[in-house]
Amino acid sequence: MIQGTWRDRFRLAALAAVAFVLAHDLVFLLTDGGSFGLALARTGHGDQWTGTVIVVAGLALSLAIAGAVRLMRLSRLAAELDAGEISVREGRPSDLLSHLLKAWLLILPVALVLFVIVENLEHLSVGLPAPGLSVLGSTQYHSVLGVFAVVSLLAALVDALYRWRRDVLVARIEAARARPQHGRAVVVRRHLPWLDRRHVSITTNLISGRAPPRRAVA
């Protein structure tokens, strides 16, 4: 299985960015309700934040499309190799849970770090004092840790489901590719004796049906 490739790390980093943006706006929405937009503007979330949201949304869409295409190609290849009925170890629920926990423990802290950095920079950009780490527990922000934990868990679940399905398909494809090679070897060994007996039988019949050679007349 492909573990820890640059694609996996990039996907997790992108999901952390998506979780950060979603959780960030949800925190402000829960804190300020209908004055959500005014609160963002008051704390320095202007056009730059809007651009950040658009970029992250585009990144999330790209990830979704790339993941769907990857899984469709693997599914098509597995179907061509008739690998759908092969059971593999990677299909266990414990593997899915392992992927979920690993992704969550990476996405959550990265998303929180991004939140702390961005909030401090936004405050400084409008002349407000930097709140530091207090953004994680200040009354100005509603349930930051809880919101980030839930949103990051959902992002980790998306990644875990993708990796789990991908690993299952790759394992089935590998098993299906190994199976015909073994089968061809068995078939060849099984048919060679029959071919030999046939040739021997033909040769015997030709010899037995042939008249004995005439002796030369002295």
Task: Label residue 118 by pLDDT band (50, 70, 90).
Answer: confident
Angle between helices 6-32 and 93-125 (to 10 degrees): 60
* Helical segments of 126-143, H only: none
Pick from 9-18, 107-116, 170-179: least confident: 170-179
Q: Where are the domains of the chain?
A: 6-183
Query: What value does the mean pLDDT of the chain take?
Result: 76
Residue pair 88/175 in contact by the 8 Å Cβ criterion: yes
Q: Convert the pLDDT of each residue in 100-115 to its tens digit.
A: 999 999 999 999 999 9
Kindly report, residue by residue over 35-75, the tens digit of the pLDDT. 666 666 666 666 677 788 888 889 889 989 999 999 999 88
pTM flag (> 0.75): no
Is the dihedral angle over the CA atoms 191, 193, 195, 198 positive or is it negative?
negative
> 210 versus 177: which is more confidently predicted?
177
CA distances from 72 to 66, 106, 151, 160, 174 (A): 10, 27, 27, 17, 17
Q: What's the CA gap between 23 and 114, in Å, rounded? A: 11
- Name the residue among 97, 84, 105 with its Cα closest to residue 164: 97
CB 24 within 8 A of CB 118: yes
* Residue 186 in this model has a pLDDT that exceeds 80: no
Least confident of 88-92, 181-185, 195-199: 195-199
Please tell me whether residue 69 adopts helix, strand or coil conformation.
Answer: helix
